[in-house]
């Protein structure tokens, strides 16, 4: 079976990490395949929402750090430039693909989300968690600094002091604790997670995809720019979106007192 399974169903692209025995640790091949599929989804009108989840007890425990059998251990650290290039073209590219795709992304966290795995959830737009899920900024346990876009993502989804606590100590954060912090949208029993993810994704897929995508960009940018730039971008975006087919349908359905039938454009 494939290490990542993709299925387009009712306008929802399901991306399911499928290495349960390895707690869905992310290989380079898996990463590149997800990036490619997200890139295709950006231009695919049939894809109107994305769900990212895993099989087994792990959502994703980070990058797969295992070496091929018989491969020698490195004797010296790689040059600084080489490490920087690996980061830019690897995990950072994956997290950026999730953050920037103009479609809503739902993370259905079915188990442990550690390091890169936690950041896959944090880069998503909505986070649903099973009761058994936990989030771990695992980097300090390996003696390395936070990576996988964590310096950007983590302080955006939680208070800075809490972000530093989790990063400095590497402690596990339960699903209930994450909910109390506002880090996740909902926590449900393990057996109910996929049904809730499907319900939310189906609702998103029936919505005005273009408008949702623009709103996503405005919200993400709102943490990066000042008031004047944010207001200007909002006004410009609304000028474009207000002429979309979905905006016309939204107004017509309001006047006709019926449910809108959005087409995603």
- The predicted pLDDT at position 87 comes to 74
Q: Residue 226 — very low, low, confident or very high, per pLDDT cuts 50/70/90?
A: very high
Element spanning 24, H or E: none
- The predicted pLDDT at position 70 comes to 58
**Has residue 72 got a pLDDT over 60?**
yes
Same domain, 83 and 109: yes
Cβ proximity of 128 and 188 under 8 Å: yes
Average pLDDT (215-236) is 94
Same domain, 242 and 111: no
pTM: 0.91
Tell whether 135 is covered by a domain. yes
What pairs with residue 26 in β-bridges? 63
> Of 127, 128, 176, 189, whose CA–CA distance to 153 is shortest?
127
Domain assignment of residue 227, given as a range = 209-255
**Has residue 69 got a pLDDT over 60?**
no
HSE value, Cβ hemisphere, 13 Å, CA-based, for 232? 5
Same domain, 112 and 149: yes
- The predicted pLDDT at position 73 comes to 61
**Has residue 77 got a pLDDT over 90?**
no
Same domain, 129 and 21: yes
Average pLDDT (95-110) is 97
- The predicted pLDDT at position 90 comes to 83
**Has residue 209 got a pLDDT over 70?**
yes
Q: Which tens digits make up the pLDDT trace of 40-60?
A: 999 999 999 999 999 999 999
Whole-number Å distance between alpha carbons of 185 and 178: 9
C-alpha distances (whole Å) from 123 to each of 6, 117, 188, 196 are 19, 10, 21, 19
- The predicted pLDDT at position 67 comes to 59
Residue 179, Cβ density class (10 Å: 0-12 exposed, 13-18 middle, ≥19 buried): middle
Which range has highest mean pLDDT (21-25, 64-68, 221-225)? 21-25
**Which residue in the block uniquely carries the two structure tokens 């449900």?**
188
Tell whether 132 is covered by a domain. yes
Neighbours of 96 (CB within 10 A): 16
Whole-number Å distance between alpha carbons of 16 and 53: 5
Specify the CATH number for the domain of residue 188.
Answer: 3.90.226.10
Domain end, chosen from 182, 205, 228, is at 205
Average pLDDT (210-215) is 96
Averaged confidence pLDDT in the chain:
93
Same domain, 138 and 237: no
Whole-number Å distance between alpha carbons of 112 and 178: 13
- The predicted pLDDT at position 247 comes to 94
Average pLDDT (101-109) is 98
User: Where is pLDDT greater, at 207 or 65?
Assistant: 207
Same domain, 225 and 118: no
Same domain, 135 and 51: yes
Whole-number Å distance between alpha carbons of 231 and 242: 16
Tell whether 263 is covered by a domain. no
Q: Which tens digits make up the pLDDT trace of 116-153?
A: 999 999 999 999 999 999 999 999 999 999 999 999 99
Total domains, the chain: 2
Tell whether 121 is covered by a domain. yes
Tell whether 265 is covered by a domain. no
Tell whether 260 is covered by a domain. no
- The predicted pLDDT at position 250 comes to 95
**Which residue in the block uniquely carries the two structure tokens 């909505």?**
126
- The predicted pLDDT at position 220 comes to 95
Collapsing DSSP to helix, strand or coil, 237 comes out as helix
Cβ proximity of 92 and 148 under 8 Å: yes
- The predicted pLDDT at position 61 comes to 96
Q: Residue 82 — very low, low, confident or very high, per pLDDT cuts 50/70/90?
A: confident
Domain end, chosen from 167, 187, 205, is at 205
Tell whether 152 is covered by a domain. yes
């Amino acid at each position: 079976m494939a290490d990542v399974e993709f299925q387009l169903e009712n306008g929802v692209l399901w991306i399911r990490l499928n290495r349960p025995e390895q707690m869905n640790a992310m290989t380079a091949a898996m990463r590149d395949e997800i990036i490619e599929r997200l890139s295709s989804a950006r231009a695919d009108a049939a894809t109107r929402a994305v769900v990212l989840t895993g099989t087994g007890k792990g959502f994703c425990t980070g990058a797969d750090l295992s070496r091929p059998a018989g491969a020698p251990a490195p004797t010296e650290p790689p040059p600084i430039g080489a490490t920087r290039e690996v980061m830019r073209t690897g995990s950072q590219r994956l997290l950026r693909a999730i953050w920037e795709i103009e479609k809503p992304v739902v993370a259905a966290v079915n188990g442990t989300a550690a390091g890169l795995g936690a950041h896959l959830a944090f880069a998503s737009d909505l986070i649903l968690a099973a009761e058994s899920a936990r989030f771990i900024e695992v980097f300090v346990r390996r003696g390395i600094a936070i990576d996988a876009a964590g310096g950007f993502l983590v302080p955006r989804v939680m208070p800075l002091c809490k972000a530093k606590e989790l990063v400095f100590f590497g402690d596990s954060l339960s699903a209930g604790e994450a909910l109390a912090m506002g880090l996740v949208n909902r926590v449900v029993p393990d057996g109910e997670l996929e049904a809730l993810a499907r319900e939310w994704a189906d609702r998103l897929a029936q919505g005005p995809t273009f408008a949702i995508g623009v709103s996503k960009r405005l919200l993400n940018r709102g943490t990066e720019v000042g008031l004047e730039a944010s207001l200007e971008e909002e006004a410009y975006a609304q000028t474009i979106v207000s002429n979309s087919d979905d905006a016309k349908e939204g107004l017509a359905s309001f006047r006709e007192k019926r449910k809108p039938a959005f087409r995603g454009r």
